[in-house]
Amino acid sequence: METISDLSAKLYDPLLRGALKPLRQAIMHALPENKNIKILDLCCGTGDQLHTLDNMGYTDLHGVDLSSKMLAVAKKKSPRLTLHEEDASATSLTNASFDAILISLALHEKDQLLQHAILKEIARLLTSDGIAIVADFCFDDRTHAWGRFMISAIEAFAGGEHYRNFKDYTRRGGLPNVLPEGLFEYKEVDRVLRNGIGVWKLSAGR
């Protein structure tokens, strides 16, 4: 019998790939142009972001996800990716070994403890002059009503703890109010999907 995880690995790209294209582009534009930098996508899912970067000539691409089904889809699309089936909050990867770390649409569904653990893991894995790009939901007066409605409907469909964490995350004002004190400096660099998703660039805090 198919599990929820099998099903979401099968349906994620057909349902969301088109709609998320502007997000993939926004994240790519936030990255340095040097195509040889070492990039890690945490909670990479079906690897759609890594696949976009692979197509654009980035050469050293790594992904982490808990789901073997999601990773299998990613590997099929881009066989050159290096993929790890691991928990993003406690990976086996080496300290200060990535120039850029991405995490998209993955923090909002977690509780605050896990969000902090993942953000601390990002700080551990980044080189001293590395950057992180975080993309996630952001509802404020710039968000169009239709964007807010569509995103909330999809999250409500996910239901349970996922939806409770999403509501808490957006109520708190998104990423700036989730970051552990002093860990990163941050700047919003883009908004996509009717301004319902923000893209932030993070660098090591002083």
Ligand X SMILES: C[S@@+](CC[C@H](N)C(=O)[O-])C[C@H]1O[C@@H](n2cnc3c(N)ncnc32)[C@H](O)[C@@H]1O
Residues near ligand X (CB under 6 A) are 43-45, 48-49, 64-67, 70, 87-89, 104-106
Shortest distance (Å) from residue 141 CB to ligand X: 25
Q: Would you say 63 or 130 has its CB closer to ligand X?
A: 63
Residue nearest to ligand X (CB): 45
Q: How far apart are CA 60 and CA 50, in angstroms?
A: 10
CB 186 within 8 A of CB 179: yes
Shortest distance (Å) from residue 34 CB to ligand X: 23
Q: Would you say 100 or 106 has its CB closer to ligand X?
A: 106
Shortest distance (Å) from residue 43 CB to ligand X: 3
Can you tell me whether residue 51 is helix, strand or coil? helix
Question: In terms of Cα–Cα distance, which of 91, 125, 119 is closest to 177?
Answer: 119
Q: How far apart are CA 13 and CA 181, in angstroms?
A: 35
Q: Would you say 26 or 37 has its CB closer to ligand X?
A: 26
Q: Would you say 3 or 128 has its CB closer to ligand X?
A: 3
Q: Would you say 49 or 143 has its CB closer to ligand X?
A: 49
> For 168, what's the count of Cα atoms within 13 Å in the CB-facing half-sphere?
15
Shortest distance (Å) from residue 206 CB to ligand X: 29
Q: CB atoms < 10 A from the CB of 75, how many?
A: 16
Q: Classify the C-alpha dihedral 28-29-34-37 as positive or negative.
A: negative
Shortest distance (Å) from residue 172 CB to ligand X: 19
